[in-house]
A = this chain, B = another copy of it.
């Protein structure tokens, strides 16, 4: 089912990343800038992420010895330094996720906010992030150019393939770690009128069960399985219990490589360097101007 499967380390049949976007209450501040600071329900819903879900998730990862990738808006890095510290202490990776979860397509001053997020990263995490995921997946060419300019190794907001591929621009290239709505927790769990996301919340076993079906097909095909999930949604008690049980079962019975996205980029670079793999390439920009009629 996959045309050019990637050989995974130690013959693992599939790579697996549970990537968390820890947006906390940035979502409400960007959606309702005038009065969000006084909207206590969405703020509290967001705070559940860094304060309750992140410790729970990290404890599971620690116990199972798994390292994964987290994406945090710069404002969240500044506002929730304890969560940042705990994530890094667990050996996990933190990626760039905008400054206040601002939509790159809609926002002016992309460079300013992009670099302000880098400043927050540098101060709280040290160095530069290896990867980027656009808020609401809305990457555009300006952000692509910023990623190349700042030496990002990978990006994770696009959907042109099932498995990692290369994005090539005139000025440089990076790995794309592709996302998909079938493994994202907004559709099954997001019920958030203020940001226009009124999904009919699924039962934990139903919402997560859909993800495991995706995994089963990916495992069979020897592919790349990534969840794009959020602490305040998937880190809730009943849902995380299901993820935890799935992790325990999968680690015990399947030959899966759980890894951070930067480790996957390392592996891919190594394969390419020694001529062991030829990735698919998407050349950007796709179009020089409007195609509309």
* Chain A residues proximal to chain B, CB less than 8 Å: 1-3, 25, 29-30, 32-41, 43-45, 47-48, 51-52, 55-56, 75, 99-100, 102, 105, 107, 113, 134, 136-142, 144, 157-162, 178, 180-182, 186-189, 191, 193, 197-206, 209-210, 213-214, 216-218, 220-221, 223, 232, 236-241, 280, 282, 284-293
Contact = CB atoms under 8 A, between A and B. Distances in A.
A292 B100 contact: yes
Nearest to A291: B29
B30 A292 contact: yes
A232 B288 CA distance: 24
A37 B286 contact: yes
Given A2-B237, A51-B280, A182-B189, 14 more contacts: A1-B56, A3-B55, A37-B290, A44-B160, A44-B178, A51-B161, A52-B160, A100-B292, A162-B237, A181-B189, A182-B238, A187-B191, A200-B202, A204-B213
A225 B240 CA distance: 16
A217 to B, nearest CB: 4
Contacts of A186: 191
